[in-house]
Amino acid sequence: MPRIPVVERIMKANDDVAASNRQLLDEHGVHAVNILAAPGAGKTSVILAVAAALKGKCRVGVIEGDLASDIDSRKVRMAGLPVYQINTGGECHLDANQVRVALDQLPLDEIDLLFIENVGNLICPVEFALGEHTRLAISSVPEGDDKPYKYPPVFANVDVLALNKADLLPFMPFDVAEFERVVRTLNPEIAFFTVSSTKGTGIPALADWLAALAR
């Protein structure tokens, strides 16, 4: 059974396109952030809140990844940001080829910070490089504080984590300090922000941290 060689060829082909994407981004001075999160963690809301906080300071663009629908890209377009929607059909993650098609459609010279919102999935997107410079994971309070134990790869393989929906902390048990402690056992160097995209709490600090990458 040639299963492992086939998988290796697919991953190698993806890595090659990702490297080419990275080169294209660098040529245009774009810093790309690959966003990984479970469905409903608030990826689009965090992007929109960060973009609003950076208005006039840093030009934000967005690639939206979903199995289906253009709900998220319509929200982003209404906020006045350049956006490209990828519908994967049934695929559970974005790949570098899909991102390349999006990059070829976006006005890269008018973008400093490019958010690539991956498909809502805490597992599969971790394996696929897209050409990004930075990986941001978004967790949310109602998902529960045990997620680092159950999904260690995503927490171990990102540069920065935003714990979103902090406005719900009064309504459910969630030990933020213990959550951060477990995340740091998996990833000692991770940058950690507690935010609420709806209330705006913590968004300026996260936005400043991300904007600093794009300089």
Contact residues for a copy of itself, defined by CB under 8 A: 1-3, 6, 9-10, 38-40, 66-69, 71-72, 90, 92, 119-124, 140, 142-144, 146-147, 149-153, 165, 168, 171
Q: Report residue 64: phi and psi, to 5°.
A: -105, 130
Q: How far is the CB of 185 from a copy of itself (least distance, A)?
A: 13
CB of 115 or CB of 151, closer to a copy of itself: 151
The strand ranges marked E within 43-126 are 60-66, 83-87, 113-117
Report the nearest approach of a copy of itself to the CB of residue 209 (Å).
Answer: 25
CB of 91 to a copy of itself, least distance (A): 8
* Minimum distance, C-beta of residue 201 to a copy of itself, in the bound complex (Å): 15
Ramachandran sector of residue 144 (left: φ over 0; alpha: ψ -120 to 50; beta: rest): left
Nearer to a copy of itself, 137 or 210 (CB): 137
Integer Cα distance of 133 and 160 in angstroms:
12
d(Cα 129, Cα 93) in Å, to the nearest integer? 10
